[in-house]
A and B are shown apart, each in its own frame.
Chain A
Amino acid sequence: MTKIWHIIKYEYRRHVFRKRFLFSLLSLPMAVIAMILVAILIGAFSVDTSPVGYIDYADVIHEPITIEEEGDIFNPIIPFTAYQDEDRAKNDLEAEEIQAYYVIPETYSDSLEIELFYLEEPGGDVQSQFTDLVRQNLLASEDLDPEVIQRLEEGSLITTTSLDGSREMREDQWYTIFTPFIAGIMFVVVVMTSGGYLLQAVVEEKENRTMEIVITSVTPTQLMTGKIIGNIGVGLTQLVIWLIFGWIGLRVGGHFWPFLQDFSISTDYILLLLAVMLPAFVMVSAFMAAIGSTMTEMREAQQVSGLISLPMMIPYYISSTIMMNPNGALVVILSYFPLTSPITILMRSAFTVVPAWELAINITILIAFAVFAIWFAGRAFRMGMLRYGKKLSIKEIFGKRIEK
């Protein structure tokens, strides 16, 4: 046991206390921050906040400035200027003092048509804010209860509840869509980087011939167990640090964008995440170790490891199918196949209620494959450990007897 512990410690230290790890650790939060910054910049530069004019022949707008909300960087307030006649508005438009102007014709109450004139089509914000302005003024002109007005203005919030009442989904719960995506990406990145480390560790030991000393000190099982646990430790460290980053991000971001404060994940979903991710993590690590044992060069090993990483990403390529039809045949099949199941299960569960028995089968298959992968890795390792120049074929690994 102490030897396994030494191996775990060694594997953990050699990866975590390295510059490379720091880079991979910072890469995801940095990428997220960069994406947010780009979004902000695009938002800030693409929205034209110059005034929009209107000519109100129908006498609809009595209170020109009724929007009380404060604008933010994504939704800046666009000032609306009243004009008495179209010529002046047109002049100002040509002089680029306004970006567009609306004409509400006298026949508006019958035709319900408004005309818009522009040189360059204004963004969606202009349209929606002008619609709000007109709606508010129309409502104000009716003699309505202020509460009714408020409700009409805010619209409805639809909550979808599953028949058995176990699941609810509300329109404003944007994170139900984001959580499986983010969790999945984090999972794949972590599993693949730490799996990559493991792959590298095994190939290196073969390449630099340390293997022979190591296996005359410990058993292959001890070595494999230590390496797999050590590398999962590396992955979990990465994950925990990212979660802390994310949590801080939500807290800090919540001050600027209140919608971030709504973020929450149910305990059930967290349990599901763990139940899916842990066996998948062990499975991928063990397969990586097996690849490392059978290959003789790092480059080759990395190419072969694509056989593991590519299928894991398949659910992303068909994410729209999963979202629209989470119970379709293809999606269900993918949730049973061990390499595609982790991400498929996480996505499916976010968009539909997957029966408990189905989840149980999915997870059991994953666990069974994790156990199989460890066995496979142990066998591949025992056979491949001292082959320096020769690759090991899959047929050999499944052969009856280990040539020891």
Chain B
Amino acid sequence: MAIINVSHISKRFGETQAVNDLSFEVKPGEIFGLLGPNGAGKTTTIRMILDIFEPDSGEISVLGGSMNEEKKNHIGYLPEERGLYQDIPLERCLTFLATLKGMDEKKASAELREYMKQFDLYEYRDKKVKELSKGMQQKAQLITTLVHDPEIVIIDEPFTSLDPVNTEMVKDILEMKRDEGKAIIMSTHQMNQVEELCDRILLIDHGQRVLYGTLREIQNNFSSRDIMVTPLSTLPDSIGGVREIRKLNGRYRLVLEESSEPNKILKNLINLGVELIEFEIAVPPLNEIFIKVVKEQEGDKND
């Protein structure tokens, strides 16, 4: 059962068709990657889900129906345009924003202190927000997104300005939330993070759906018939079933003949007495898929 169901939505701003007949769904207990090049319509889509904009046509169902005031309390949103009240102490700022999500002040305060400790912000709680570093403000904003334990978390570029330690921590938190059954929509350009975290992805371009499915399905669809191997010593010059051997930085890329299968190649390598450290089917990185698809789209547009 989907927690967010987007069905054939379109949105136009003047001359620009920001979103065009877009459909997808997000399920509880998954991290859903919303990807696309700049200006693809990601933020507009998110704003329509959040009822900031109304779609010109199409339907959006959130938590089993259209958006209302009560449902806003069950959504955590980290917008692309970051912002906190600058002139007041951190704790007061976070408490106020938490109470706007329907938390009572006492509970909000207790939860916030826990989060601030986790994010190493506790000792800065009396400092004015504007006195905090960019990374700290980013963490504070993440707390605002999560403190009311929302059913749906929508985050736009959650890792910008975070150092590797904090990036790991945020990833852990997101995975924990997913395991608790929350639905997480993550929009980012950091494809390695998508590969690490996302269960399913939607790639949009020019407001339209380009790719949609589980990460594995999509990568399989784009996988070539290549195998990556790392031998202990060197590879023989020819291997049965292999059309071409390319050496890349200590590893080898084996391009298979039409009739060949990976299992057969593994057998052949063992028969040839090659000792292997690594043998894997070459899956194209998401980054490559992204660039390829977007470029194809551009080509289609220009034709």
| Prevailing SS type, chain B contact patch | loop
- Rounded to whole angstroms, the CA-CA distance of A6 and B82 in the bound complex is 22
A212 touches B77 (CB 8 A): yes
A208 touches B101 (CB 8 A): no
A3 touches B79 (CB 8 A): no
**B84-112 CB contacts (< 8 Å) to partner A:** 84-88, 92, 96-97, 99-102
Indicate the size class of the contact surface on chain A: 20 to 34
Binary interface profile of B, 45-70, with partner A (CB < 8 Å = 1, else 0)? Answer: 00100111110000000000000010
Chain B interface, number of residues (Cβ within 8 angstroms):
29
Minimum Cβ distance to chain A for residue B11 (Å):
10
> Chain B residues with Cβ under 8 A from A212's Cβ?
52, 77, 79, 81, 83
Binary interface profile of A, 22-46, with partner B (CB < 8 Å = 1, else 0)? Answer: 0000000000000000000000000
> Chain B residues with Cβ under 8 A from A211's Cβ?
83
B100 touches A210 (CB 8 A): no
Q: Does A217 contact B (CB under 8 A)?
A: yes
Q: Does A214 contact B (CB under 8 A)?
A: yes
- Rounded to whole angstroms, the CA-CA distance of A204 and B87 in the bound complex is 10
Candidates B47, B73, B97; contact of A213 at CB < 8 Å? B97
Known: A210-B83, A212-B77. A218 touches B100 (CB 8 A): yes
B102 touches A3 (CB 8 A): yes
Q: Does B75 contact A (CB under 8 A)?
A: yes
A210 touches B84 (CB 8 A): yes
Known: A3-B99, A216-B75. A386 touches B84 (CB 8 A): no
Q: Does A170 contact B (CB under 8 A)?
A: no
Q: Does A14 contact B (CB under 8 A)?
A: yes
A14 touches B84 (CB 8 A): no
| Prevailing SS type, chain A contact patch | helix
Q: Does A299 contact B (CB under 8 A)?
A: no
Q: Does A219 contact B (CB under 8 A)?
A: yes
- Rounded to whole angstroms, the CA-CA distance of A10 and B13 in the bound complex is 35
Q: Does B144 contact A (CB under 8 A)?
A: yes
Minimum Cβ distance to chain B for residue A207 (Å):
8
B77 touches A208 (CB 8 A): no
Q: Does B72 contact A (CB under 8 A)?
A: yes
> Chain B residues with Cβ under 8 A from A213's Cβ?
77, 79, 83, 97, 144
User: Which residues in B have some Cβ–Cβ distance to A below 8 Å?
Assistant: 13, 47, 50-54, 69, 72-73, 75, 77, 79, 81-88, 92, 96-97, 99-102, 144
User: Which residues in A have some Cβ–Cβ distance to B below 8 Å?
Assistant: 2-3, 6-7, 10, 13-14, 204-205, 208-219, 386, 388, 403-404
Enumerate 5 A-B pairs (CB-CB under 8 Å) in ascending A order: A2-B99, A209-B81, A211-B83, A213-B144, A215-B52
